[in-house]
Amino acid sequence: MSHKGEVLFLDKTHPRLMEKLINIGYHCFFEDDMSVEKLVKLMPDLTGIIVRSRLQLGREELQHAVRLRFIGRVGSGLENIDVDYARSKGIACLNSPEGNRNAVGEHAAGMLLSLVNNICNANYEVKKGLWNREKNRGMELRGKTLGIIGYGHTGSAFARCMDGFGMKIIAYDKYKTGFGTSMVKEAGMEEIFNEAHILSLHIPLTNETRYLVDASFLSQFKHSIYLVNTSRGAVVNTSDLTKALKQGKLKGLALDVLEYEHLSFESLEMVDLPAPFRYLADHPAVVMTPHVAGWTHESLIQLSDVLFEKIRKLD
């Protein structure tokens, strides 16, 4: 078997990805403490890089690439890669959103159900010996309108998870049309502002979407809404969310992502907890999880399999 080149793994993935790449002729090695300086020195010899989100692969790093054919992102977001520059050098930028779309859809559904039925708060209280039935009365989803922004892999997976609850599902995607079905209605933002009782975000973090959801955005909703975010933390302005909760524009929040996350998503990038975070953490109508919506045992395998197939097809 011919030697196809060196593939550097910058983050941990399921071992089957490395095994499969080795089986088709790549030499693979893993460096979990890679510095930018060391990466730059290795770059001229690399054929491929496998990454999640720990390091930025920008122009400064990629300009040293001579043999690099692909960057494989184990996951969906490519915000830590200068995709335009990479592609200008003939480097394929591959991601694997198909691998964890079901996981994200199920997690978003679970967070929403927990939120509208006060499950997290009720669970905490009952374990403390408190029996507050009226305080924890829930809201049924039947008859409500669910608005989805971003109807790609995860947005459509979430819609499938919510189908059957008797809701009207409407979705907006700036870069996709013609996706309406009997399950979901393709809609414009005006319709979402006018009809949605629940809003779920499924969009990448770009210059266009950073702080998309701010005070001005939320003020346009006719109804007080529940907001679900499993995309990226900086898509919303956290300070404005706290104000909207206080004003009643938001009924509740389900957040799997926070704008305070470290670039790697592995920790919160703050020494002192900022006031907006403390407010959300103490609020009974806020449910938060640590960026794990797409991180199930099954998706860990599927992400690797999807990415391998995309790399294999480059040959």
Given the residues 52, 195, 261, 283, select the one marked as catalytic. Answer: 261
HEC profile of 80-146: CECHHHHHHCCCEEECCHHHCHHHHHHHHHHHHHHHHCCHHHHHHHHHCCCCCCCCCCCCCCCCCEE
* Distance separating the N- and C-terminal Cα atoms of the chain: 14
Answer yes or no: is pLDDT of 1 > 70. no
CATH number, residue 149: 3.40.50.720
Q: Does 157 map to a domain?
A: yes
Dump pLDDT digits (tens) for 176-222.
999 999 999 999 999 999 999 999 999 999 999 999 999 999 999 99
Mean pLDDT value across the chain: 94
Are both 218 and 76 inside the same structural domain?
no
pTM of the model: 0.92
Are both 195 and 279 inside the same structural domain?
yes
Provide the token pair at 177.
């049309």
Q: Does 125 map to a domain?
A: yes
Q: E strand or H helix at 299, and its extent?
A: helix 297-312
Which amino acid, 308? F
At residue 34, the pLDDT reads 84
Are both 29 and 134 inside the same structural domain?
no
Dump pLDDT digits (tens) for 46-65.
999 999 887 889 999 999 99
CA 96 – CA 89 distance, rounded (Å):
21
Are both 227 and 142 inside the same structural domain?
yes
Residue 297 among the catalytic residues: no
Are both 58 and 82 inside the same structural domain?
yes
Residue 261 among the catalytic residues: yes
Residue 232 among the catalytic residues: yes
Query: Is 149:174 a contact under the CB 8 Å cutoff?
Result: no
Query: Is 184:171 a contact under the CB 8 Å cutoff?
Result: yes
DSSP state of 274: P
Dump pLDDT digits (tens) for 98-123.
999 999 999 999 999 999 999 999 99
Question: By residue range, what is the domain housing residue 261?
Answer: 101-288
CA 195 – CA 186 distance, rounded (Å):
13
Q: Does residue 64 sit in helix, strand or coil?
A: coil
Are both 205 and 225 inside the same structural domain?
yes
Nearest to 236 by CA among 272, 256, 210, 199: 210
At residue 53, the pLDDT reads 80
Helices 119-127 and 101-116 cross at an angle (nearest 10°) of 60
Are both 95 and 185 inside the same structural domain?
no
Dump pLDDT digits (tens) for 268-277.
766 678 999 9
Which amino acid, 16? R
Dump pLDDT digits (tens) for 4-42.
999 999 988 999 999 999 999 999 999 878 888 999 999
Given the residues 14, 232, 259, 283, select the one marked as catalytic. Answer: 232
Q: Does 293 map to a domain?
A: no
Residue 225: Cβ within 10 Å count = 23
